[in-house]
């Protein structure tokens, strides 16, 4: 039961070593702690065990919220609509989960009358920024406790041995399994691996590390043929033409995309990226379903989207990725970007046929009722534009001359200054 004189805090809780120590430490500091665990699709997580551990560590209670459907429909699909990718490679698997989690944490704080939220993010990473920026955007009065930036906490816990000693002292159960020599973040969208041995950018990793995908060496010799249907940029149907499986529910569709893409070794990357806090970081990611759906969506845009709309949408995509990565999901500029992207998708409806084979996503065709592609207009066998378009190839000569004017002017200037 909550004590009236004690301040109340909602702790983002995973059940792991760090957040279990933080939970007990907050209790010692005079807080009533409510643990919050978000189900965003972590692999094989025992949430009942997490709840029991939180209470045993001193939490008033542990709230577990199933956010998987919300995560897919309102966050992952939003990223896929604009083909979001950070620095040309990272599909934002961790970044896009944080606002989903933060929104629910703030909701619980309001419901429980808590003035504080707390997290176990380190002082060197992006997540501290994402959690706190999202929380403050949603509730200007909320306060955040970040123990890994607290001088007293850092002095007390200089490494894993100090954390384990604290657990022994306070009877906090510790996972008996050996600790991985890297850190893992899991959700429906991706699994990320970083830190530990991976901090050496030249160090490779073992195949056994991966959770969502197989190596191309172990992928099937037979291709998987699929159709993906989109309506206004959002995937609404996935059909496996090999075995007839059909998925239409958003969550089931995305989970099945993960399954078949992972089985065909799709979606792995190993990169060094630029964190918002100014530090370069090496991360290994597997994003099978996201890679598959993004490739399909980009292909469908090619047949449906106007050239100039596409050019502007690509700029918006870069902005979306930057804002999402840096923690500005609930910022007004992100509202502008997301609404603009939604408008750009109004004609992106159709079906893309794909072949999945040993790490490759191969397009085998696409159709759309809103196609801007016209076979007669594009044909090399028809001189003009066919019956529907008045296109005269000789007009291209004037088009080229007009577009070359500035090039000629610039060339003349260069020739003059080089004399």
Choice among 183, 195, 223, 340 that is catalytic: 183
* pLDDT of the residue at 160: 86
Choice among 20, 95, 127, 192 that is catalytic: 127
Cβ atoms < 10 Å from Cβ of 207:
10
pLDDT tens profile 316-339? 999 999 999 999 999 999 999 999
214 membership: H or E segment, kind and range: none
What's the CA gap between 343 and 272, in Å, rounded? 33
Residue 358: pLDDT band by 50, 70, 90 thresholds?
Answer: very high
Task: Give pTM, 2 decimals.
Answer: 0.93
What's the CA gap between 290 and 76, in Å, rounded? 8
326 membership: H or E segment, kind and range: helix 307-326
Do 186 and 193 form a contact (C-beta atoms < 8 A)?
Answer: no
What's the CA gap between 72 and 54, in Å, rounded? 27
Residue 389: pLDDT band by 50, 70, 90 thresholds?
Answer: confident
Output the average pLDDT for the chain: 94
pLDDT tens profile 254-281? 999 999 999 999 999 999 999 998 999 9
What's the CA gap between 275 and 280, in Å, rounded? 6
* pLDDT of the residue at 182: 86
pLDDT tens profile 99-152? 999 999 999 999 999 999 999 999 888 999 999 999 999 999 999 999 999 999
Q: Residue 48: is it exposed, middle or buried by C-beta count within 10 angstroms (0-12/13-18/19+)?
A: exposed
pLDDT tens profile 57-66? 999 999 999 9
What's the CA gap between 115 and 136, in Å, rounded? 12
3-class DSSP state of 63: strand
Residue 394 falls in the annotated catalytic set? no
Residue 183 falls in the annotated catalytic set? yes
Average pLDDT over residues 79-93: 97
Do 145 and 13 form a contact (C-beta atoms < 8 A)?
Answer: no
Residue 227 falls in the annotated catalytic set? no
Choice among 14, 32, 95, 98 that is catalytic: 98
Choice among 18, 32, 227, 347 that is catalytic: 18
Q: Return the percentage of the chain with pLDDT > 90, whole number.
A: 86
3-class DSSP state of 274: strand
Do 226 and 353 form a contact (C-beta atoms < 8 A)?
Answer: yes
Residue 98 falls in the annotated catalytic set? yes
Average pLDDT over residues 157-178: 86
């Amino acid at each position: 039961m909550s004590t009236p004189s004690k301040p109340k805090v909602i702790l983002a809780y995973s059940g792991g070593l760090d957040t279990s120590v933080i939970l007990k430490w907050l209790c010692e500091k005079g807080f009533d702690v409510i643990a919050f665990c978000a189900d965003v699709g972590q692999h094989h997580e025992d949430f009942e065990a997490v709840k029991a551990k939180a209470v045993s560590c001193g939490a008033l209670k542990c709230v577990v919220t199933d956010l998987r459907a919300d995560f897919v429909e309102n966050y992952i699909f939003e990223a896929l609509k604009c083909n979001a990718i950070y620095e040309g490679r990272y599909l934002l698997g961790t970044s896009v989960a944080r606002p989903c989690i933060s929104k629910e944490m703030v909701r619980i704080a309001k419901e429980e009358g808590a003035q504080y939220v707390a997290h176990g993010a380190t002082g060197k990473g992006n997540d501290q920024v994402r959690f706190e920026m999202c929380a403050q955007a949603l509730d200007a009065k909320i306060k955040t406790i970040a123990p890994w930036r607290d001088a007293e906490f850092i002095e007390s816990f200089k490494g894993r041995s100090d954390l384990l000693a604290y657990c022994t002292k306070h009877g906090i159960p510790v996972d008996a399994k050996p600790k991985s020599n890297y850190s893992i973040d899991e959700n429906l969208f991706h699994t990320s691996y970083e830190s530990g041995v991976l901090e050496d950018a030249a160090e490779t990793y073992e195949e056994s590390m991966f959770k969502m995908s197989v190596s191309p060496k172990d992928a099937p010799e037979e291709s998987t043929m699929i159709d993906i249907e989109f309506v206004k940029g959002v995937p609404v149907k996935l059909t496996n033409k090999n075995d007839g499986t059909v998925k239409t529910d958003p969550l089931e569709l995305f989970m099945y995309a993960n399954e078949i893409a992972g089985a065909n070794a799709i979606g792995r990357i190993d990169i060094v990226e630029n964190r918002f806090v100014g530090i370069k970081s090496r991360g290994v990611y597997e994003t099978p379903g996201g890679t598959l759906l993004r490739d399909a969506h980009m292909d469908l845009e090619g047949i449906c989207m106007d050239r100039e709309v596409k050019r502007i949408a690509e700029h918006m995509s870069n902005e979306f990725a930057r804002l999402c990565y840096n923690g500005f999901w609930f910022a007004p500029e992100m509202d502008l970007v997301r609404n603009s992207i939604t408008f750009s998708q109004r004609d992106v409806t159709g079906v893309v046929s794909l072949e999945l084979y040993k790490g490759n996503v191969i397009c085998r065709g696409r159709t759309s009722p809103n196609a801007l592609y016209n076979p007669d207009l594009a044909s090399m066998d028809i001189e003009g534009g066919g019956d529907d378009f008045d296109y005269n190839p000789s007009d291209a000569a004037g088009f080229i001359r007009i577009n070359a004017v500035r090039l000629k002017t610039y060339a003349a200037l260069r020739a003059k200054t080089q004399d």
